[in-house]
């Protein structure tokens, strides 16, 4: 009888409480020059990261050449740490697949695979196991993009390797029109989910209400294995005469809090420039919306995802590896987010 009771308890613990996912924590590296950074490396060591997702280049369509072309490829001033596996990432603008035909897809797959292989060796690595393609494809580019992925998968450089893609929330919700990319796994991008260009006090980086509306009824049924990317970045979104004017990399929070430069709307995250500010490319009257993510935002998102994702091994990737951004979070903050998944 006692053995029977113990057996029931074991079964309950195994199935009744559900199985947690095995989460591997790491970061995106999204700068154009890799240099050894002890402060940033602390985070890789603290979370026992065995790999790092490294942006290799962007790819855009060049109208002069009438073909896809690399933009701002990474430079490796230092080799990656020996113990760290590289997962190369190539960001392809959706616009590319509006211009290419299937013959050009084959050429693009060849150029990307060959370029990535060379860059991995520049990083001090002999090889890689996974390549990630980052593209926010649409209904109109779906067929061409998926054809490109099929051609990339069978390239000689990709032999024995895994192909991963990024996945936006609208592609999960609208799975019928968006289609399912022909790969084994996808990275669910849980940021940039609001309307960046719309004037107002909203936070376009992370909005739990948006996440819930897009994912709550659809995430469990998504057929691919899913990794997760969460934001730890912040930025200044600029509006001129009520219209979106871009993201300013020259504006930091400390400048916005300077009362001689900006006047804050007390009920929102909007700051109006009181003077011309040529050093930042801004004019008197421009409005800046400061967007950021705090520990409570991240934890809420992680708890939601932990509830709705299938239990499986997955990567949790924070965007991105920058000590100036990560100092806004304690190790305990990030550990709570990891545990929630």
Contact 116, 156 (CB under 8 A): no
* pLDDT at res. 102: 82
125 and 146 together in one domain: yes
DSSP E strands, 19-126? 23-29, 33-34, 51-62, 67-71, 75-76, 85-92
124 and 257 together in one domain: no
CA distances to 95, 106, 110, 147, 235 from 68, rounded to whole Å, are: 10, 12, 12, 16, 29
134 and 246 together in one domain: no
Q: Is residue 5 part of a domain?
A: no
3-class state of residue 1 by DSSP? coil
pTM: 0.93
Helix H or strand E encompassing 117: helix 102-122
* pLDDT at res. 119: 98
How many domains is the chain partitioned into structurally? 2
195 and 279 together in one domain: no
* pLDDT at res. 1: 54
Parent domain of 252: 235-291
Residue 10 has pLDDT above 80, yes or no: no
Residue 18 has pLDDT above 90, yes or no: no
* pLDDT tens, residue by residue, 236-253: 999 999 999 999 999 999
Q: Is residue 58 part of a domain?
A: yes
Q: Mean pLDDT across the chain, nearest whole number?
A: 93
330 and 211 together in one domain: yes
Buried b (16+ CB within 10 A) or exposed e, 279-301: ebebeeebbbbbbbbebebbbbb
Cis peptide, bond prior to residue 320, ω within 30 of zero = yes
What percentage of the chain reaches a pLDDT higher than 70?
A: 94
Q: Which residues on adjacent β-strands are paired with residue 262?
A: 273
Q: What is the CATH number of the domain that holds 326?
A: 3.20.20.80
| First-last CA distance in the chain | 37
* pLDDT at res. 4: 47
State mean pLDDT over 255-274: 95
C-alpha–C-alpha distance, residues 156 and 181, integer Å = 20
Name, in order, each residue with C-beta under 8 angstroms of 295's C-beta and a sequence gap of 6 or more.
329, 330, 333, 336, 337
280 and 136 together in one domain: no
216 and 269 together in one domain: no
* pLDDT at res. 11: 42
* pLDDT at res. 20: 65
250 and 137 together in one domain: no
313 and 170 together in one domain: yes
Phi, psi of 303 (to 5 degrees): -65, -40
Output the six-digit token pair for 92: 């392809």
Output the six-digit token pair for 28: 């995106």
* pLDDT at res. 19: 58
* pLDDT tens, residue by residue, 34-91: 999 999 999 999 999 999 999 999 999 999 999 999 999 999 999 999 999 999 999 9
* pLDDT at res. 12: 44
123 and 148 together in one domain: yes
Q: Is residue 151 part of a domain?
A: yes
122 and 263 together in one domain: no
């Amino acid at each position: 009888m006692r053995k029977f009771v113990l057996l029931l308890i074991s079964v309950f613990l195994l199935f009744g409480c559900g199985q947690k996912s095995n989460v591997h924590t790491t970061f995106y590296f999204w700068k154009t020059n890799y240099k050894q950074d002890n402060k940033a490396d602390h985070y890789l060591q603290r979370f026992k990261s065995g790999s790092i997702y490294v942006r290799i280049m962007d790819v855009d369509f060049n109208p002069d050449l009438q073909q896809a072309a690399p933009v701002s490829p990474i430079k490796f001033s230092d080799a990656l740490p020996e113990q760290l596996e590289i997962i190369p990432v190539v960001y392809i603008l959706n616009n590319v697949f509006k211009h290419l035909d299937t013959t050009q897809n084959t050429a693009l797959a060849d150029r990307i695979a060959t370029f990535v292989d060379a860059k991995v060796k520049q990083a001090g690595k002999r090889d890689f196991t996974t390549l990630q393609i980052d593209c926010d494809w649409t209904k109109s580019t779906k067929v061409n993009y998926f054809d490109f992925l099929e051609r990339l998968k069978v390239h000689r450089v990709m032999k024995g390797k895994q192909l991963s893609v990024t996945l936006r929330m609208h592609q999960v919700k609208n799975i019928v029109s968006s289609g399912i990319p022909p790969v084994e796994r996808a990275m669910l991008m849980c940021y940039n989910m609001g309307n960046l260009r719309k004037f107002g006090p909203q936070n376009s980086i992370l909005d739990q209400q948006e996440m819930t509306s897009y994912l709550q009824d659809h995430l469990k049924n998504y057929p691919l294995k899913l990794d997760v990317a969460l934001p730890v970045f912040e930025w200044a979104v600029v509006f001129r005469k009520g219209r979106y004017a871009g993201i300013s990399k020259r504006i930091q929070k400390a400048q916005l809090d300077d009362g001689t430069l900006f006047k804050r709307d007390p009920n929102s995250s909007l700051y109006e420039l009181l003077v011309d500010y040529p050093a930042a490319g801004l004019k008197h009257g421009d409005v800046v919306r400061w967007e950021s993510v705090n520990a409570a935002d991240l934890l809420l998102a992680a708890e939601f995802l932990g509830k709705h994702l299938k239990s499986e091994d997955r990567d949790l990737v924070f965007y991105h590896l920058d000590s100036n951004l990560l100092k806004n979070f304690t190790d305990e903050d990030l550990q709570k987010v990891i545990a929630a998944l």
